[in-house]
Amino acid sequence: MNPKGIERKHSKQREAILQMILSSRSHPSARWVYEHVKPAIPGLSLGTVYRNISVLMEEGLVVSRGVVEREERFDGVVTSHPHLICTCCGGIFDLPGDIPLDFSWVSIELPDWKEREPGSGAFLINHQKTHFYGLCSRCYIG
Q: How far, in Å, CA of 83 to CA of 70, rounded?
A: 17
Question: For residue 12, is pLDDT > 70?
Answer: yes
74: Cα within 13 Å, side-chain hemisphere: 28
pLDDT digits (tens, 9 = 90+) for 84-139: 899 999 999 988 766 555 555 555 555 555 555 555 556 666 667 788 899 999 89
Question: Where in the chain are the domains?
Answer: 1-78, 79-142
Q: Which CATH architecture has domain 1-78?
A: Orthogonal Bundle (1.10)
- CA 94 from centre of chain: 11
**79-142 topology per CATH:** Dna Ligase; domain 1 (3.30.1490)
Mean pLDDT along residues 1-28? 82
Residue 1: pLDDT band with limits 50, 70, 90: very low
What pLDDT score was predicted for residue 10? 73
What pLDDT score was predicted for residue 128? 72
What pLDDT score was predicted for residue 94? 87
Mean pLDDT along residues 65-69? 89
Percent of the chain that is helix, strand, coil (3-state, to 5): 30, 20, 50
